[in-house]
Chains A and B, each alone.
Chain A
């Protein structure tokens, strides 16, 4: 947490001299790559409001949901990289989803900044009585049909990897975004599902339970639950929320926008920061510029390798 804060603070200072060097020529469109009500949507809208308050830039959020954020990114790609059109989605949109598309590559975008990291977990309904992955595996072995709610190709592949590692059969249910996966769980259309962070109120209300973390460490809501890696499944499905622009954006604009976001996320009073602290604890994750680009490109290659291995 300290490190993140330090990093945010130092980035803020770096960005500080650039203030007011660039101003948008009219309203900025913030295209949200997922549907209304999910974690990406709520965060994007709060952030838009705060950018507006901070800089006086008019930021208009708009949902363009579908295909792991690529319905949005395919349109973003064709826009001018002048800072007037930005995309808000998750790293999966750029470091995984382009491999299913003939028209998209990770090189098509300018990566501005991340905002927060997921709390990726395996969820089940509390009334199922399961408290661990083993319970689920036992139920499957005893003949119960497992239906796993997924919102995209990557997490569906992840579910399949878990199932193979456990030696069980899993049927998949594709939903619209993380919110859709939760609805499928609650309305009993599925009995297991992924949750990236929006699950928080339902887990706290006691409707859902976390069986395992799919991050590198345990998730904040269930610190006692093991990670999938602890269970011998080599899988990390953690992702970050990320702001992007079309490729070819000047460093000046990129750093100006990144600077505003870093400034907002470093402010303990900020609504976006408070939302992130609650939903994606412990604190915002701010990676920007060249470092972020490097991260996306490396992860993309790793993901291509993972899918090849799965297909074999």
Chain B
């Protein structure tokens, strides 16, 4: 226990310590910047947290560089955006009935009626309070669960089991994401396919590079994700704008704000928040399900448990509490599989992983949570697990981001009403320019630019075919890890053809994967 506290202490202080050992407030400053940007982005319809993270990552890397010292400010800003966006999305949902982020959609159901009744301020403060509480709750679960899961996994899972776990995660994600399950599977497989380009651990040289040596290290990750996620959305928006020009309406005026939320009312919300946050945390810990499902489930549960279910949808604050606490709780819980296993479950997690892989020598995975006894050798060095200090540093920044969300976030949210009025024809060119510049700077000039554009076309195609982008990106990101594990498991078994089927744990996980696949196909047949 002493050791755990020692590591937590080191982690907390490491955030505030610069390379030279002096006080360094840059990570804290970047957390604040991140949260503010996140809230603004969240409150702007058409922008979302992952969007801002995709663009921010290359910009941050070009500012702070690739060294270990860059990791804290960059991660701090990304974590801030992630958390700020979950809070900000509620504002336009409540005031104007247009959700700022997709996961705030359910907030419109009760939030907007409240605003129309003249209780706008109350609704926003309810959303803020439940959102931040939900976020804090899931962070606490993350801090406790991630180390425990990681340690267990490292002891129990070998190469075949880890391979099977990734296969199961991918199948699960394909099955639960979006409306049509088979489309999720196709997206995931396509993502895995494009990740085949580049170097493998085969020792036979890079593959599928078309003779371009720059592709030897694989397609540039950040640019590709930027292309498939952000640029494709820009393309779609341009199309929509062109087609909807005739029906352009002026944005509505902000309604009367009304009275503040009292502490007594906050207290009465707590049971609802606890229920919503628990649902959000459970859902968030599973890959691919995401905020919308969590919010829906939480909303339905709250409605069913309520003594007056008929008031839901007509301005019941409990509806806002249920959706906001659940969708915010997802963000912390999503980092549980990321930090303990290296498996991302949503876009925000994808960018946290990308940042970590791009910068410095820290990497997520079970090895992070080894509690190596701290020993000081005179005149030499201190022996400790630096990754663990880093992990606690990241946790510290999450707590800081929550604090900023609590304080500044609440103030800022009251002032955001006008953001919905930023017209898309101003915003899209800005997004486009920043994204393309970011891709150019981050990933070696034209290679980055071309991959971003190529992936924008892929993303456009996927969106138009209504194939969810998430399995594509996660398949793209995880396939190399999976290949490394499968290759390793095969050679380590001495070339046994049944290497994946020898362990009961792997067998169970693979059986579950097959079950999910069969279910997907049957569902698709029925539909």
B366 partner residues in chain A, CB cutoff 8 A: 187
A184 partner residues in chain B, CB cutoff 8 A: 488
Q: Which of B203, B491, B494 touches A67 (beta carbons < 8 Å)?
A: B203
Chain A 68-100 near chain B by CB (<8 Å), digits 1 or 0:
101110110110000000000000000000001
Q: Which of A37, A67, A173 touches B488 (beta carbons < 8 Å)?
A: A173
B383 on interface, CB distance cutoff 8 Å: yes
A66 and B491 contact, CB distance less than 8 A: no
B372 on interface, CB distance cutoff 8 Å: yes
A186 and B367 contact, CB distance less than 8 A: yes
A174 and B380 contact, CB distance less than 8 A: no
Interface residues of B in 348-362 (CB under 8 A from A): 357, 359-362
A187 and B217 contact, CB distance less than 8 A: no
A306 on interface, CB distance cutoff 8 Å: no
B357 partner residues in chain A, CB cutoff 8 A: 36
B213 and A174 contact, CB distance less than 8 A: no
A78→B203 CA distance, assembly (Å)? 22
A67→B206 CA distance, assembly (Å)? 7
Contacting chain B: which of A128-136, A175-183, A211-219, A224-232? A175-183
B154 partner residues in chain A, CB cutoff 8 A: 187-188
A78 and B206 contact, CB distance less than 8 A: no
Closest to A42 in B: B361
B158 on interface, CB distance cutoff 8 Å: yes
Interface residues of A in 32-81 (CB under 8 A from B): 36-38, 41-42, 45, 61-68, 70-72, 74-75, 77-78
Closest to B366 in A: A187
A214→B370 CA distance, assembly (Å)? 28
B367 partner residues in chain A, CB cutoff 8 A: 183, 186-187
Q: Find the residue from B201, B487, B495 having the highest chain A CB count within 10 A.
A: B201
B383 and A172 contact, CB distance less than 8 A: no
A189 partner residues in chain B, CB cutoff 8 A: 158-159, 488, 492
A201 on interface, CB distance cutoff 8 Å: yes
Q: A100-B204, A153-B203, A175-B201 are in contact. Are A75 and B491 (CB under 8 A)?
A: no
Q: Find the residue from A45, A62, A77, A78 having the highest chain B CB count within 10 A.
A: A45
A71 partner residues in chain B, CB cutoff 8 A: 198-199, 206, 213, 216-217
B205 and A204 contact, CB distance less than 8 A: no
A171 on interface, CB distance cutoff 8 Å: yes
Chain B contact residues, majority secondary structure:
loop
Q: Which of A37, A64, A156 touches B216 (beta carbons < 8 Å)?
A: A64
Q: A42-B361, A61-B66, A145-B494 are in contact. Are A78 and B383 (CB under 8 A)?
A: no
A100 partner residues in chain B, CB cutoff 8 A: 203-205
A284 on interface, CB distance cutoff 8 Å: no
B268 on interface, CB distance cutoff 8 Å: no
A176 partner residues in chain B, CB cutoff 8 A: 201, 484
Chain B 38-58 near chain A by CB (<8 Å), digits 1 or 0:
000000000000000000000
Chain A contact residues, majority secondary structure:
mixed
Q: A169-B494, A175-B201, A187-B367 are in contact. Are A204 and B377 (CB under 8 A)?
A: yes
A85→B106 CA distance, assembly (Å)? 54
B363 on interface, CB distance cutoff 8 Å: yes
* Contacts between the two chains (Cβ within 8 Å), count: 109
Chain B 450-461 near chain A by CB (<8 Å), digits 1 or 0:
000000000000
A75→B205 CA distance, assembly (Å)? 13
A190 on interface, CB distance cutoff 8 Å: yes
Chain B 205-229 near chain A by CB (<8 Å), digits 1 or 0:
1100000011011000000000000
B523 on interface, CB distance cutoff 8 Å: no
A64→B213 CA distance, assembly (Å)? 11
A161 on interface, CB distance cutoff 8 Å: no
A205 and B372 contact, CB distance less than 8 A: yes
B488 and A205 contact, CB distance less than 8 A: no
A186→B366 CA distance, assembly (Å)? 10
A207 on interface, CB distance cutoff 8 Å: yes
Number of A positions contacting B (CB below 8 A)? 48
Q: Which of A36, A74, A78, A183 touches B360 (beta carbons < 8 Å)?
A: A36
A171→B489 CA distance, assembly (Å)? 10
A174 and B201 contact, CB distance less than 8 A: yes
A278 on interface, CB distance cutoff 8 Å: yes
Closest to A204 in B: B383
A70→B198 CA distance, assembly (Å)? 12
- Smallest CB separation, A61 vs chain B (Å): 7
Interface residues of A in 142-181 (CB under 8 A from B): 145, 147, 152-153, 156, 169, 171-176, 179
- Smallest CB separation, B201 vs chain A (Å): 4
Interface residues of B in 314-358 (CB under 8 A from A): 357
B381 on interface, CB distance cutoff 8 Å: yes
A298 on interface, CB distance cutoff 8 Å: no
Closest to A147 in B: B492
B373 partner residues in chain A, CB cutoff 8 A: 205
A62 partner residues in chain B, CB cutoff 8 A: 66
A74→B370 CA distance, assembly (Å)? 37
B370 and A186 contact, CB distance less than 8 A: yes
B360 partner residues in chain A, CB cutoff 8 A: 36-37
A98→B403 CA distance, assembly (Å)? 54
Q: Which of A61, A74, A156, A278 touches B380 (beta carbons < 8 Å)?
A: A278
Interface residues of A in 283-297 (CB under 8 A from B): none
Q: Which of A45, A66, A174, A190 touches B67 (beta carbons < 8 Å)?
A: A45
A205 partner residues in chain B, CB cutoff 8 A: 372-373, 375, 383
B361 and A67 contact, CB distance less than 8 A: no
Q: A75-B214, A101-B205, A174-B201 are in contact. Are A179 and B488 (CB under 8 A)?
A: no
Q: Find the residue from A36, A42, A156, A201 having the highest chain B CB count within 10 A.
A: A36
- Smallest CB separation, A181 vs chain B (Å): 11
A66 and B159 contact, CB distance less than 8 A: no
A190→B66 CA distance, assembly (Å)? 30
Chain A 92-120 near chain B by CB (<8 Å), digits 1 or 0:
00000000110000000000000000000
- Smallest CB separation, A157 vs chain B (Å): 10
- Smallest CB separation, B219 vs chain A (Å): 13
B216 and A74 contact, CB distance less than 8 A: yes
B199 and A41 contact, CB distance less than 8 A: no
Q: A37-B363, A173-B488 are in contact. Are A64 and B66 (CB under 8 A)?
A: no
18 A-B pairs within 8 Å (CB atoms) are namely A36-B66, A37-B360, A45-B66, A61-B66, A66-B198, A68-B203, A70-B216, A71-B206, A71-B216, A77-B213, A100-B204, A172-B491, A174-B203, A183-B365, A184-B488, A186-B370, A187-B367, A207-B372
A contact set with B: CB distance below 8 Å = 36-38, 41-42, 45, 61-68, 70-72, 74-75, 77-78, 100-101, 145, 147, 152-153, 156, 169, 171-176, 179, 183-184, 186-190, 201, 204-205, 207, 278
B contact set with A: CB distance below 8 Å = 66-67, 154, 158-159, 198-199, 201-206, 213-214, 216-217, 357, 359-363, 365-367, 370, 372-373, 375, 377, 380-381, 383, 484, 487-488, 491-495
